Amino acid sequence: MKITDEARDLLNQILEDVGEGVLRLYFAGYGCGEPDIGLTIADPEADDELERINSIPVAIDRRILHLTEELTVDGKQTMEGPKFQMLGLPEKDC
């Protein structure tokens, strides 16, 4: 998994504002027969894999760890606030 520099800068600001938690990727159900990945700021859970990626503390639900190997988290500042997207997810056929 990778986190772009722009996403890192936005995430650092969010983590500083919140004051606790990490970037957490979690199993968010199934879409088109494939697992979906959710992205949030939260405390790690017991079964999470903990990593530090581009200086960001990250917790990844072990059920989706294999889906994050080629994943890139990108971010940009918008009028509505920071927006993040996950690039490199497998294509879904539905």
- Global pTM exceeds 0.85: yes
Q: What is the pLDDT of residues 30-88, one digit of tens each?
A: 887 778 899 999 999 999 999 999 999 999 999 999 989 999 999 999 999 999 999 98
Q: What is the pLDDT of residue 94?
A: 66
Domains and CATH numbers, the chain: 2-87 (2.60.300.12)
Q: What is the pLDDT of residue 92?
A: 64
Alpha-carbon span 92 to 89, nearest angstrom = 9
